[in-house]
Each structure stands twice: as structure tokens, then as C-alpha cells.
């Protein structure tokens, strides 16, 4: 029942420590090349928050072999796409190109690994781009709430800041901060290269060796030693601003992906919010509609909320398990908070029926059936699982999940939903800033 | 490495069929190795067909199509989707009401049956209508306070006259939502979710004859004829009113961080003879590519925004194009100038031969990325089917695009995008200080951005 469609992966480790995962698919017209670095916002310190993300931007700004803009041109002119992303635990770079152009992304990633130039004259320009990215996010109340709750729940661990960093740090950081971060954490011994798509395996092995095996190993240990002390009481924050209706997010400190309870958390998340965190299909912002999910039934079907969900983003270190909802027009935040709390308490008191649990397990497993279609998606998933744990991480979690009983989920809920480790963020719409629906007139300030 | 020839992909070998009841079926073979299939039912029950005073009915109906059928409750319907590891969504846009579904190929027959069930036997329960009404009211409030959504809405309301099919808010208004009844939904369903006038697109490993045999017992029993063709499309207010050209209309939403700037105007519909040239003009201006002029000017050279792009809408009855960027309030005038100036420059001088060649080959070269899986390829077949394009449209696309010259791009930009003057411009964000105050309008003649305002 577990993972029948996971792809066959050729795994190699070069002498310099670079792990290489290759998934050849003869019929595919494309090749997707990804490099995952085990460094992210967790490796930053106060004063340099946002460095990992800003550096990610700078690594498109030239290297030994590529001048500013040439990486973009090499991929896009070949009909390909390229991008990158920074998370708390990792940073990833990828390109997907028509298969006859696979040399370009391999060349770029090899050069980017240790040869980035991070030109001084690009620093200020990119600083304002990064600030703009952050300000664009700030326009969405859900981003503000999410950023706030991590800042509330964590006081020591770097998970307390968002990967975008603080405005003050972005304004004050200089090239040296970014360059030293790069020198410290970027190298073959801290990375996984994943290539999936239409290529011939022996020749790809040669192509990878030729480009990557000469790069010297060098990086600092990216593991974070900081341990967040136990939370000893509820913490609350209130935000106000423009928006449609109140938003409530409640987060409890929760284990990381390597914890044996991860499988139970995955099932609880699926039960409450409806999203399959192992094989996600939706966007990261707001819940998709899941009429079978408990929170949807308790809050949306009853008219309290227009959306409701749960969230347990897989993290290497202990993170947060959250419940959230956005109120229906006219409903107060108090009622939302009470309804969310009631659902968390219900799981500590009552057992899921065997039928409910069976359905959850089936959904978890079925998510795997489409998880490996397409080279870009396959390469993403392999790199993601490997960076979080190991290549078979999803299958290990699935296997354990299939053995769980209703009492296991109730027990995990009792350990999770403690009053003393609860964090509550409420976003209230400022009455002075309350919007009027634009329809029916021009809706302007004229 | 061997070279792929996207033009020979089976996913481009489309065939068109008509069932006895008049339903048009477009068959698209799944790409090799794809393990999924995809299906879309497309009808002309878009939001422009909302009855007067009942705006929001098409959107409400689309949101209720997955909320249970006569045979299954909403939860049972959702459970069945889960059981099949399938996806199911429905949405109403200005012109169309669409259901899109997909899943593993082994579940194809069950998913097709589920789409048919949702299409023909939706429950349309009053309690669900109340839920959808709440969601749409929240959507209207969000649209009023979130700069990107508000800018898009105000842009349409300033560009298009009352009565234009694309001016209507798909979410309706608080008043019209209050008037909606179950009977309105039933009536709209009967009029628009019909066989004749609708389209079914299936991306499948089945041969066409096999697929058609399977469809006859279900979709072949659908009946009815829905209205086709455009409703009245009045002349654009912007085009008619020369005094407003070049103004930046600013709307403040206190408490927000970033200004969303949108410029744009009218454009020809998808089947217009200039659409291919406009597609390339849009790619050069601000299409998907990071090589586009707007991305290069606004982000890479000036560092003024995280993103800057343009979009040419594919529509049947009229057309629209927009360019947008989110920026810091102190850069709003500069960004406005940059957006406008690039349109003007492209219309006056056109692209160089090298620039056109680079963007065109990048655009054509991206085709293999859309041909790896059924889900990716499906969008191409829906486009061919909905706009009634030749079945070999995407195979001929390279020939058509490679025949275009820089002067073609210059002409269509001048004629359709510049259209006699600077485009309409709207910006929404935090209150501005001093001379960039609230509600102010600023004029851009499309001059060079050099020396533009930096507050």
C-alpha cells in the first residue's frame, strides 16, 4: 500500500560530499535540475535576518562564468524556466529546460555553488527589490498573522523570524554580511543535486562529474544548536489593520519531522484541515476548501467562517502546529477563537471512529499516487524529502501512520494541545480602515 | 543528448467531434508516460450572463457545483473525490463557466461520471447558497481593502462603461447577493449548462473512438441549447474620453505597505488577426519571461519592484491588456512612467530584430514544458476548443510567429496597446505624502522616466 509509484533513483555521493540524485525518464521532453542547500533562515542571527533569502537573490547576479543577467538569459532563451526559494531550513535553486539544453542549468549550478561574485553595485538595487517583496506580502493580513505567531511562539530559536527578514535588518545589512554567509554555507558538502527528466543515465553521470567533482568541500556545519526553552504559559498578540474580516490563528509548539509523533501530526493535520502535508497540492496561503475536514465542518458549514484550516509545515526542528480561520462577515474574533479551541479540545477527549481513521490513512496514501508525475515535481519532492530527512522520509512516515490507532492520535493531541504552549494571534479589522465593497460604483476616493 | 521535437508530441494531435446532442468534444492524447488524465466542461454561462440585478449568480452556481448532487451530500461528494485521488474545481469567468477535473488514468471513468453528475444534478441547497453568499461578501470586502485586488477592480470600472460584459464584478454586489434565491440558480443552471453551445475537452490515453463511446451514455444524454455569441459590447469609456488619458488615479487604503500600479487598456479578442503579433508584443513588454522589458527596467535596472509584468487576456468578445508592478509609495510615479514609457517606446520604435528573435525563440522553446503531463497539456486543448481555433493551431504556431517582423510588433503595439495615447493607470496603496496625496491624479505623457518623481 505504501509508495508504489515512488521513482527509481540513482544516488551517488561525490568525493567532495555532493550528493547526486538522478531520475532518468526516457520519454520526457524536459530536464529539471535542482540544487538544495541545507541552509536557510535558521542559520541567520539577529541583525542579519533575511540574509539567506537576500543572498538567494544575489546568486542570480553573476558568477565567475556568468555576468549579471546571463544566467537568466541562458535558461530563458532556451525556453526554460528558473527560480529559487528560501525557507527556514533550506534554500533551493531550479531550472527546467527542454532536454537538449540540459548543459545550461548544470553549468549554472556548478558555477553558483562557490563562484558567485555578489557584485557591490547590485547590492542596493536588490535591497529595494527584497524590501518590495516583503511589502507586497505585508499587504496580505494572513502574512502578518503568520509572521506574528512565529515571533510569539519562539524567543530563542531562529524560527522566530520569517525568511524574508526584518525591514530593519534588510536596510542595514551590507555586502560583507551576505558574502560571509555565502562563504560559510555554500559548497558541495552542504548540498544535494537532483536531476530528473529525459536524459541518458551514463552520460548524465559523466556530465555531473565533469562539472561538480572539482569543487572543493568547505562549508561550516549548518546544524542549529539552539534549543527553544519550554513555553510556560499562553501568549497572545493582537494586530489591527485593513482587511475584510477578523482572522484568528492559534499555534502550539510541535515536534519536527524526525520525531516519532510526526505521523500522528500528519494525520491530525489532515483530519482538521484537510490538506495532505506530505504531498501538498494547494498554495501556502489560506485553506483550500475541504468539506470532509473537521474545521471546515465546524466553522464554515456553521456560518462562523469563510475559510478554516490547519497547518503543520514539516520542519527539521520543533515548530508549530496551527489552526486558523477567517470570520464570515459580522462574526467576531472571539467566537472564532472559541470554536477553534473547542475542536482542539474535542480531539483530546474523543476518539476518531475506526472509519474516520481508515479514510484518513487512505487519503494519505493516495496522495502519493500523483506525487511523482512530471520531472519538475519529482525533482522537487526528492530534494525536499532528502533535505528534511532522507530519501525515503515520506514512506517511513506513511508506514508509521498506517499502524496508528485512534488512541495514538488522541494521545498525541493531548501532548500537543496544551494551554501552556498555546499562542494566539488575532487580526482585527480597523474600523477606520474597513473597506466598502467596490461594486455598485467606481469605488474610488474621488 | 537527443533533441525533442515538440511539434510531434501526441498531445498536439487534437481531434474535434460532435455528439448527437450538439455537445462539441475535443480529444487530446495524453503525453507518453503521463499517468493522469484531465477533463474540462466549458459552457457560456459566465458572469456576463448574470441577469440584471442578480449579479453574482454565475459565480454562486460555480461554487455550488461541488456542494453535493441529488445522489450525494456535499461531504459524500468530497469523499468520492478523495477516494479517487482526483481533483475537481468549478469557476465562472466573464465568458465561461467551467468545470475542470482530473486524476489517475485508472479513475477516468468514475471522474467523468462525477463531472456529469455535478453538471446535471447539483443540489443547490439553500443553506449552501447562504454559505457561498457569505464567502462572496467577504470577497467583496477583501477586494476593497487589498491593493492588488482593488486596483484590478477599479481599473475595469474606469476603463469599461456600465453594461460592458467584462465590467461586471463576478462577485456581484452586497445588494444583488441579497436578492439571489435558489430559483435564480435553478433557472441559470437550466439556461446555461446545456449540451449545445458547450464544450468538453478530454486529455486521455483512450483513442477518440473509445472516448466517444464512453461519453455517449453520459454527456450524450445532456440536452438543451444555451445562448451563444457576444452580448452587447459598448465602446470603452477610456477610448472615448481623451481627457483622462495619461492620468494616474490614486486610491489610498490606510495601513497597507505597498502600492499596486496597474496600467492598460482595450485589446483585440483571441481570434483577431493581430493576436499572434500582440502575443509577442506582450512577451517583449512584460510576458512570462524575466527577459521582458518591464522586468528588466523596473526590477533589474531600477530595483523598484519585486515583480513587473504585463498580460494579454485571451477572450472571445473583446480584449484587455494590463501591465502592473507593486512598489514603495515613494516610487509610484517613477514606476508609472516606466510602465507607460515602455509601451510608448515599443509602439514608436518596435523591437530590434535580435530582441524579437530572442523572445520569440524563448516563447516557442517553452512548448515542451507544457507537453510532459496531461494536466500541463490540457490547457492548450481547452484554448483550441474554446476559441474554435484550427486543430493544428499549436503546430502551426511557430510558422505564424516566425513570419512576424519588428514592424509588425511596432504596428500592433501602436494600434492596440498605445491606441492613440497613454494607457489608463490606477494605483492603490497607503496614503501618499505631500504632492502625491490621496485621490490625486497625475498625468504621464509617456516621456522618458529620467528625472521622474522620486518623492
| Banded pLDDT at A389 (limits 50, 70, 90) | confident
Place of cell 462539441: B24
Q: Which one of A5, A76, A99 has the shortest CB-CB distance to B1?
A: A99
Task: Count Cβ atoms within 10 A of the Cβ of residue A134 and give its class: 0-12 exposed, 13-18 middle, 19 or more buried.
Answer: buried
Bridge partners, B201 (sequence order): B26, B40
In tens, the pLDDT along A211-234 reads: 999 999 987 888 899 999 999 999
Tell me if A43 sits within 8 A of A115, measured CB to CB. no
B218: left (phi over 0), alpha (psi -120 to 50) or beta: alpha
> How do A19-24 and A191-197 pair as beta strands?
parallel
DSSP-derived secondary structure letter, B10: G
| Contact with chain B for residue A25, Cβ under 8 A | yes
Q: Are A182 and A118 in contact (CB under 8 A)?
A: yes
Distance CA B236, CA B164 (A): 8
Q: With CB atoms and an 8 Å threshold, state whether B306 touches A129.
A: yes
For chain B, state the CA radius of gyration.
Answer: 23
Chain B: residue nearest A239 by CA? B255
Burial of A341 (0-12, 13-18, 19+ CB in 10 A): middle
> What value does the mean pLDDT take over residues A252-272?
96
Work out the pLDDT band at B229, boundaries 50, 70, 90: low
Neighbours of B168 (CB within 10 A): 25
Q: Is the pLDDT of residue A434 over 70?
A: no
CB-CB neighbors (< 8 A) of A301 in chain B: 131
Q: Which segment of A325-339, B222-236, B379-393 scores lowest on mean pLDDT?
A: B222-236
SS3 A151: helix
In a mutational test of the B interface, the residue from A3, A28, A132, A378 whose CB has the highest number of chain B CBs within 10 Å is: A132
Beta partners for B17? B25
Strand-pair partners of B202: B27, B39
Rounded average pLDDT over B445-449? 33
C-alpha dist (Å) from residue A322 to A147, A232, A410, A418, B87 = 13, 18, 17, 13, 25
Q: In this predicted model, which residue has the larger pLDDT, B371 or A439?
A: B371
Look at residue A425 and give its three-state secondary structure.
strand
Per the CB < 8 A criterion, the answer to whether A395 and A2 are in contact is yes
CA–CA dist A58, A35 (Å, integer): 16
d(CA A305, CA B134): 9
Beta bridge partners of B61: none
Q: Among A28, A79, A439, whose Cβ lies nearest the Cβ of B366?
A: A79
State the cell numbers at A329. 462577515
Task: Please check whether residue B330 touches A, CB under 8 A.
Answer: no
Phi, psi of A253 (to 5 degrees): -60, 130
pLDDT tens by residue, A307-335: 999 999 999 999 999 999 999 999 999 99
| pLDDT band, residue A432 (cuts 50/70/90) | low
State in Å, rounded, how far the first CA of chain B is from the last one.
54
- Domain B9-221 matches domain B237-443 at the CATH topology level: yes
Contact criterion met (CB < 8 Å) for A242 and B4:
no
pLDDT at B235 over 80: no
Q: How far apart are CA A52 and CA A86, in angstroms?
A: 7
Beta carbons of A239 and A428 less than 8 angstroms apart? yes
Interchain pair A435, B9: CB under 8 A? no
Q: Any idea what DSSP says for residue B297?
A: I
Q: Does A378 touch chain B (CB under 8 A)?
A: no
Mean pLDDT over the full length of chain B: 90
Q: At what angle do helices A393-403 and A354-366 cross, to 10 degrees?
A: 160
B83 has a pLDDT exceeding 60: yes
- Pairwise CA distance, residues A33 & A208, whole Å: 11
How many C-beta atoms surround the C-beta of residue A14 within 10 A? 18
Rg of chain A, C-alpha, whole Å: 23
Phi, psi of A162 (to 5 degrees): -75, 155
Please give the class, per CATH, of domain B9-221. Answer: alpha beta
Mutate to test the interface with B, among A1, A54, A79 (most CBs of B within 10 A): A79
Q: Which residues pair with residue A363 across a beta bridge?
A: none
CA distances from B222 to B183, B184, B266 (A): 21, 21, 37
Q: Between β-strands A91-98 and A81-86, what pairing exists: parallel, antiparallel or unpaired?
A: antiparallel
Q: What is the pLDDT of residues A344-364, one digit of tens each?
A: 999 999 999 999 999 999 988
At B383-405, the pLDDT tens digits run: 999 999 999 999 999 999 999 99
In chain B, which residue's Cα lies nearest the Cα of A197?
B372
For chain B, the structural domain boundaries read 9-221, 237-443
Could you read off the pLDDT of B297-351 as tens digits, one per residue? 999 999 999 999 999 999 999 999 999 999 999 999 999 999 999 999 999 999 9
Spatial separation of the C-alpha atoms in residues B50 and A356, rounded to whole Å? 41
Distance CA(A109)–CA(A331), nearest Å, equals: 51
| A127/B303 CB distance under 8 A | yes
Distance between the two ends of chain A, CA-based, in angstroms? Answer: 62
Nearest to A359 by CA among A442, A424, A271, A446: A271
Domains and CATH numbers, chain A: 10-212 (3.30.830.10), 235-433 (3.30.830.10)
With an 8 Å Cβ cutoff, are B35 and A5 in contact? yes
Question: Quick one: CA dihedral A390, A391, A394, A400, positive or negative?
Answer: negative
Residue B54 grid coordinates: 442578480
**Do A79 and B368 lie within an 8 Å CB cutoff?**
yes
Q: Does A28 touch chain B (CB under 8 A)?
A: yes
Please tell me the distance in Å from A432's CA to the nearest CA on chain B.
9
Residue B147 with chain A: CB contacts under 8 Å: 139
> For residue A21, with 0-12 CB atoms within 10 Å meaning exposed, 13-18 middle and 19 or more buried, which class applies?
buried
B406 and B350 in contact (C-beta within 8 Å)?
yes
CA atoms of A92 and B445, how far apart (whole Å):
43
Q: Mean pLDDT, to the nearest integer, of B90-96?
A: 95
Is residue B118 classed as helix, strand or coil in its secondary structure? helix
Asked if the Cβ–Cβ distance from B75 to A100 is below 8 Å, we say: no
Mean pLDDT of B273-288: 96
B247 neighbourhood in chain A, CB within 8 Å = none
Report the distance separating Cα B315 and Cα B347, nearest Å.
Answer: 23
Dist CA A192 CA A182 (whole Å):
16
User: What's the pLDDT tens digit per position in A147-160?
Assistant: 999 999 999 999 99
Chain B residues within 8 A of A79 when measuring between CB atoms: 361-369
Residue A404: DSSP 8-state: -
Of B134, B148, B251, the CB nearest to A445: B251
- Which residues, other chains included, contact A156 with Cβ-Cβ below 8 Å and sequence gap of 6+? A226, A227, A228, A229
Helix (H, G, I), strand (E, B), or coil: what is residue A390? coil
Backbone angles phi, psi at B129, to 5 degrees: -60, -40
Interface test with A, best of B55, B306, B329, B378 (most A CBs within 10 A): B306
Average pLDDT in chain A:
92
**Which chain B residues are Cβ-neighbours of A67 within 8 angstroms?**
none
Cβ neighbours of A435 in B, within 8 Å: 141-145, 150, 253
**Exposure string for B135-148, b = 16+ CB within 10 A, e = fewer:** bbbbbbbbbbbbbb
User: Quick count: other Cβ atoms within 10 Å of Cβ B124?
Assistant: 22
Place of cell 443540489: B123
Cβ <8 Å between B169 and A439: yes
Distance CA B133, CA B149 (A): 19
CA distance B136 to chain A (A): 9
Tally of CB atoms within 10 A around A168: 12
A134-150 pLDDT tens trace: 999 999 999 999 999 99
E-state strands within B214-268: 247-252, 259-266
Q: Which of B55, B148, B291 sits opposite A73 (nearest CB)?
A: B291
Distance CA B233, CA B40 (A): 27
Kindly report the CATH class assigned to B237-443: alpha beta
Find the helix or strand (DSSP H, E) in which A135 lies.
helix A120-138
Quote the CA–CA distance of B142 and A400 in Å, as a whole number.
Answer: 42
Query: A366 contacts in B (CB within 8 Å)?
Result: 82-83, 85
Question: Residue A306 is nearest to which of B3, B82, B135, comparing CB atoms?
Answer: B135
Looking at residues B151-164, what average pLDDT do you find? 94
pTM, entire model: 0.93
Q: Is the dihedral of CA A114, A117, A120, A123 positive or negative?
A: negative
Contacts of B169 (CB under 8 A, 6+ apart): A438, A439, B47, B55, B56, B140, B143, B153
Q: What's residue B439's pLDDT?
A: 41
Give the CA distances from residue A179 to residues A38, A330, A402, B285, in Å, rounded to whole numbers and listed in that order: 17, 51, 46, 34
Q: Distance (Å, rounded) from C-alpha A323 to C-alpha A341? A: 9
Confidence of residue A102 (pLDDT cuts 50, 70, 90): very high
3-state secondary structure of A409: helix
Supply angle C-alpha B90, B275, B369, rounded to 5.
Answer: 60
What percent of chain B shows pLDDT beyond 70?
92
Burial per residue of A54-82, b for 16 or more beta-carbon CB atoms within 10 angstroms, e otherwise: bbbbbbbbbbeebeebebbbbbbbbbbbb
B391 vs B28: CA distance, rounded Å: 10
Q: ipTM of the predicted structure? A: 0.92
pLDDT at position A436, please?
Answer: 52
Question: Quick one: which of A96, A88, A95, A32 has its CA closest to A59?
Answer: A95
Nearest CB neighbour to A439, from listed B2, B171, B365: B171
Amino acid at each position: 500500500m505504501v509508495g508504489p509509484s515512488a521513482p527509481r533513483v540513482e544516488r551517488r555521493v561525490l568525493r567532495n560530499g555532493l550528493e547526486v540524485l538522478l531520475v532518468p525518464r526516457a520519454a520526457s521532453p524536459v530536464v529539471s535540475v535542482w540544487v538544495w542547500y541545507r541552509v536557510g533562515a535558521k542559520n541567520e542571527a539577529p541583525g542579519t535576518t533575511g540574509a539567506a533569502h537576500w543572498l538567494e537573490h544575489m546568486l542570480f547576479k553573476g558568477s565567475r562564468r556568468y555576468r549579471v543577467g546571463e544566467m537568466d538569459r541562458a535558461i530563458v532563451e532556451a525556453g526554460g524556466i528558473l527560480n529559487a526559494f528560501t525557507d527556514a531550513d533550506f534554500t533551493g535553486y531550479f531550472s527546467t529546460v527542454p532536454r537538449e539544453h540540459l548543459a545550461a542549468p548544470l553549468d549554472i549550478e556548478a558555477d553558483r555553488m562557490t563562484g558567485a561574485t555578489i557584485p557591490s553595485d547590485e547590492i542596493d538595487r536588490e535591497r529595494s527589490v527584497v524590501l518590495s517583496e516583503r511589502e507586497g506580502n505585508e499587504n496580505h493580513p494572513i502574512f502578518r498573522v503568520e509572521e506574528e505567531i512565529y515571533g510569539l511562539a519562539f524567543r530563542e530559536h531562529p524560527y522566530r523570524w520569517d525568511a524574508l527578514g526584518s525591514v530593519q535588518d534588510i536596510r542595514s545589512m551590507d555586502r560583507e554580511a551576505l558574502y560571509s554567509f555565502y562563504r560559510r554555507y555554500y559548497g558541495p558538502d552542504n548540498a544535494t543535486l537532483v536531476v530528473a527528466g529525459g536524459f541518458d543515465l551514463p552520460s548524465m553521470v559523466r556530465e555531473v562529474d565533469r562539472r561538480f567533482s572539482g569543487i572543493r568541500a568547505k562549508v561550516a556545519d549548518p546544524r542549529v544548536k539552539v534549543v527553544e526553552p519550554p513555553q510556560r504559559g499562553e501568549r497572545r498578540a493582537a494586530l489591527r489593520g485593513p482587511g475584510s474580516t477578523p482572522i484568528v490563528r492559534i499555534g502550539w509548539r510541535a515536534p519536527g519531522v524526525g520525531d516519532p509523533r510526526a505521523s500522528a501530526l500528519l494525520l491530525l493535520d489532515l483530519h482538521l484541515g484537510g490538506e495532505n502535508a506530505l504531498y501538498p497540492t494547494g498554495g501556502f496561503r489560506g485553506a483550500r476548501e475541504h468539506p470532509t475536514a473537521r474545521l471546515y465542518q465546524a466553522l464554515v458549514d456553521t456560518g462562523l467562517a469563510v475559510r478554516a484550516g490547519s497547518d503543520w509545515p514539516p520542519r527539521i526542528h520543533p515548530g508549530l502546529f496551527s489552526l486558523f480561520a477567517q470570520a464570515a462577515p459580522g462574526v467576531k474574533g472571539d467566537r472564532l477563537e472559541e470554536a477553534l479551541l473547542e475542536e482542539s479540545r474535542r480531539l483530546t477527549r474523543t476518539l476518531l471512529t475506526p472509519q474516520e481513521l481508515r479514510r484518513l490513512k487512505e487519503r494519505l496514501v493516495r496522495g502519493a499516487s500523483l506525487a511523482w508525475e512530471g520531472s519538475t515535481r519529482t525533482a522537487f519532492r526528492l530534494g525536499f524529502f532528502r533535505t528534511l530527512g532522507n530519501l525515503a522520509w515520506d514512506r517511513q512516515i506513511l508506514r508509521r501512520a498506517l499502524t496508528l490507532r485512534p488512541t495514538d492520535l488522541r494521545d498525541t493531541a493531548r501532548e500537543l494541545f496544551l494551554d501552556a504552549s498555546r499562542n494566539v494571534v488575532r487580526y482585527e479589522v480597523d474600523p477606520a480602515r474597513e473597506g466598502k465593497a467596490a461594486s455598485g460604483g467606481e469605488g474610488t476616493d474621488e | 543528448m537527443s533533441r525533442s521535437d515538440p511539434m510531434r508530441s501526441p498531445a498536439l494531435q487534437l481531434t474535434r467531434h460532435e455528439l448527437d446532442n450538439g455537445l462539441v468534444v475535443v480529444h487530446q492524447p495524453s503525453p507518453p508516460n503521463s499517468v493522469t488524465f484531465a477533463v474540462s466542461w466549458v459552457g457560456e454561462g459566465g458572469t456576463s450572463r448574470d441577469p440584471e440585478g442578480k449579479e453574482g449568480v454565475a459565480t454562486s452556481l460555480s461554487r455550488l457545483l461541488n456542494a453535493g448532487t441529488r445522489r450525494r451530500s456535499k461531504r459524500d461528494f468530497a469523499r468520492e473525490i478523495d477516494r479517487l485521488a482526483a481533483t475537481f474545481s468549478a469557476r465562472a469567468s466573464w465568458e465561461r463557466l467551467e468545470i475542470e477535473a482530473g486524476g489517475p488514468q485508472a479513475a477516468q471513468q468514475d471522474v467523468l461520471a462525477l463531472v456529469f453528475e455535478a453538471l446535471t444534478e447539483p443540489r443547490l441547497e439553500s443553506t449552501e447558497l447562504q454559505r457561498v453568499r457569505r464567502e462572496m461578501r467577504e470577497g467583496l470586502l477583501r477586494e476593497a481593502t487589498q491593493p492588488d485586488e482593488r486596483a484590478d477592480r477599479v481599473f475595469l470600472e474606469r476603463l469599461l462603461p456600465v453594461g460592458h460584459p467584462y465590467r461586471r464584478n463576478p462577485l456581484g454586489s452586497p445588494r444583488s447577493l441579497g436578492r439571489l434565491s435558489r430559483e435564480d440558480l435553478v433557472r441559470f443552471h437550466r439556461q446555461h449548462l446545456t449540451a449545445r453551445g458547450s464544450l468538453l475537452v478530454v486529455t486521455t490515453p483512450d483513442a477518440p473512438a473509445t472516448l466517444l463511446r464512453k461519453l455517449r451514455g453520459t454527456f450524450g444524454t445532456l440536452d438543451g441549447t444555451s445562448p451563444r455569441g457576444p452580448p452587447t459590447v459598448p465602446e470603452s469609456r477610456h477610448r472615448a474620453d481623451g481627457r483622462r488619458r495619461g492620468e494616474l488615479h490614486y486610491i489610498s487604503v490606510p495601513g497597507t505597505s505597498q502600492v499596486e500600479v496597474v496600467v492598460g487598456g482595450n485589446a483585440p479578442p483571441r481570434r483577431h488577426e493581430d493576436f499572434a503579433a500582440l502575443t509577442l508584443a506582450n512577451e517583449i513588454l512584460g510576458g512570462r519571461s524575466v527577459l521582458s522589458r518591464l522586468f528588466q527596467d523596473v526590477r533589474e535596472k531600477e530595483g523598484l519592484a519585486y515583480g513587473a509584468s504585463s498580460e494579454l487576456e485571451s477572450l472571445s468578445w473583446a480584449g484587455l491588456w494590463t501591465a502592473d508592478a507593486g512598489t514603495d509609495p515613494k516610487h509610484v510615479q517613477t514606476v508609472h512612467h516606466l510602465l507607460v514609457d515602455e509601451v510608448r517606446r515599443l509602439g514608436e520604435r518596435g523591437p530590434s530584430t535580435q530582441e524579437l528573435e530572442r523572445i520569440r525563440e524563448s516563447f516557442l522553446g517553452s512548448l515542451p514544458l507544457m507537453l510532459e503531463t496531461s494536466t500541463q497539456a490540457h490547457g492548450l486543448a481547452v484554448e483550441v476548443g474554446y476559441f474554435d481555433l484550427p486543430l493544428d493551431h499549436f503546430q502551426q504556431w511557430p510558422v505564424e510567429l516566425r513570419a512576424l517582423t519588428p514592424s509588425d510588433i511596432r504596428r500592433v503595439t501602436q494600434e492596440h496597446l498605445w491606441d492613440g495615447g497613454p494607457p489608463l493607470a490606477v494605483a492603490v496603496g497607503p496614503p501618499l505624502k505631500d504632492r502625491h496625496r490621496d485621490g490625486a491624479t497625475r498625468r504621464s505623457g509617456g516621456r522618458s522616466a529620467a528625472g521622474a518623481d522620486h518623492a
